[in-house]
């Protein structure tokens, strides 16, 4: 009466791999898993416990369990609806191809990274900092240090309020940016003279954006020379560049860049100037004329709030 399809799967007996099929149905268009059993009560308990404990985010609201009799044999049927928090994945594997599954014809197969990112965008929207990050194994040694130095709490409640964690307790891309595993870097070059002809120094800074901010500011300060000017009987010391201007330019380069691109933020120090090159064009909805009139729209509002809370 039945055959396997994109919406139907048969299992002769319960095995832990059945949760992969549940994940695939929840990530695709739903479907039903039929499990042939000798002990229907025991199988139902195993299956429901595995679905509850092995799959993230919580998919239990989208799975119903029933006993049916087919050809005189009692079987378990698990009806799975398409979930609203795709991609669902194996908790032990994370949001990566070996943990995320989809339905292709009558088969359950690992999702490609492209398919995973598409599911995340469809669920979370297009705002990069609010989207779930593929890496959920994050640490916050530098962030904890930065918050502690300023006497600001940085527990789970604060991380959720700031947007590092979403409502399901999963790390967002903002969490990735604040973490020690941040993928984005700042490349800094010091040139001899006023052209990009000869290097005096080159560095690449990585880690949490909070650490990069401190490290880059300290590095630039080494090349922000003190000059003395005698005015009457007084000597006036003056930096090449106001410290406040360096701070503001560096903060803007970090807060307003487009982190959906992997290229590094670039800073070049010349004899007569410092150049900051950050990734991303104008924020959607704003023009150059708007900027000249003083209109400001934050590309990464949550990231701006983090820096605002600390600086």
- Each residue's pLDDT tens digit, 184-196: 999 999 999 999 8
Flag the least confident range among 13-27, 89-103, 115-129, 186-200: 115-129
79 or 2, higher pLDDT: 79
Averaged pLDDT for residues 207-214:
96
d(CA 59, CA 71): 31
Confidence of residue 70 (pLDDT cuts 50, 70, 90): confident
Confidence of residue 2 (pLDDT cuts 50, 70, 90): low
pLDDT at position 251: 93
pLDDT at position 102: 97
Rg (CA), the chain: 27
φ and ψ of 234, to 5 deg: -115, 145
pLDDT at 218 over 90: yes
DSSP 250-296: HHHHHHSS-TTS-PPEEEEE-SS-EEEE-S--SPTT--HHHHHTT--
pLDDT at 290 over 80: no
d(CA 95, CA 273): 44
Contact between residue 236 and residue 228 where contact means Cβ atoms under 8 Å apart: yes
Please give the C-alpha separations between residue 200 and each of 189, 213, 214, 218, 264, in angstroms, as whole numbers.
8, 22, 21, 17, 20
Q: Which of 32, 47, 39 lies closest to 2, judged by CA? A: 32
pLDDT at position 233: 72
pLDDT at 1 over 60: no
pLDDT at position 282: 73
pLDDT at 151 over 60: yes
φ and ψ of 62, to 5 deg: -105, 10
Confidence of residue 98 (pLDDT cuts 50, 70, 90): very high
* Angle, vertex CA 135, rays to CA 131 and CA 140, nearest 5: 95
Flag the least confident range among 13-17, 55-59, 63-67, 297-301: 297-301
Flag the least confident range among 229-238, 256-265, 297-306: 229-238
φ and ψ of 220, to 5 deg: -60, -35
CATH 3.30.1490.20 fits 8-124, yes or no: no
Q: Which of 1, 8, 13 lies closest to 78, judged by CA? A: 8
Please give the C-alpha separations between residue 82 and each of 4, 102, 219, in angstroms, as whole numbers.
18, 11, 51
pLDDT at position 177: 97
End-to-end distance of the chain based on CA atoms, in angstroms? 67
Q: Which of 210, 207, 185, 174 lies closest to 302, judged by CA? A: 174
User: Domain residue spans in the chain?
Assistant: 8-124, 125-311
Tell me the per-residue pLDDT of 22-69, one tens digit each, with 9 for 90 and over.
999 999 999 999 998 877 778 899 999 999 999 999 999 999 999 988
pLDDT at position 275: 96
């Amino acid at each position: 009466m039945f055959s396997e399809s994109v919406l139907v799967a048969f299992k002769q007996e319960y095995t832990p791999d059945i949760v992969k099929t549940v994940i695939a149905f929840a990530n695709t268009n739903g479907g039903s898993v039929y499990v042939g059993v000798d002990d229907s009560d025991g199988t139902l308990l195993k299956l429901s416990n595995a679905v509850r404990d092995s799959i993230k985010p919580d998919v239990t609201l989208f799975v119903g369990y029933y006993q049916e009799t087919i050809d005189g044999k009692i079987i378990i049927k698990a009806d799975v609806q398409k979930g609203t928090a795709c991609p669902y994945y194996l908790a032990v594997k994370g949001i990566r191809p070996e943990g995320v599954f989809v339905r292709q014809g009558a088969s359950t197969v690992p999702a490609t990274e492209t398919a995973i990112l598409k599911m995340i965008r469809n669920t979370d929207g297009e705002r990069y900092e609010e989207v779930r990050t593929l890496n959920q194994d994050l640490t916050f040694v530098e962030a904890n240090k930065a918050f502690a130095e300023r006497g600001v709490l940085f527990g789970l409640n604060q991380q959720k309020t700031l947007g590092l964690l979403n409502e399901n307790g999963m790390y967002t891309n903002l969490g990735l940016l604040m973490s020690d595993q941040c993928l984005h870097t700042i490349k800094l070059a010091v040139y001899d003279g006023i052209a990009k002809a000869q290097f005096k120094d080159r560095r690449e800074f990585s880690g949490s954006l909070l650490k990069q901010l401190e490290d880059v500011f300290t590095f630039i300060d080494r090349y922000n020379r003190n000059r003395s000017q005698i005015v009457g009987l007084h000597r006036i010391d003056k930096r090449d560049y106001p410290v406040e201007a360096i701070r503001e330019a560096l903060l803007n380069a970090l807060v307003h860049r487009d982190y959906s691109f992997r290229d590094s933020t670039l800073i070049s120090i010349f004899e007569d100037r410092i150049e900051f090159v950050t990734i991303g064009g104008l924020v959607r909805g704003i023009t150059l004329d708007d900027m000249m009139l003083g209109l400001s729209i934050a590309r990464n509002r949550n990231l701006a709030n983090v820096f605002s809370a600390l600086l």
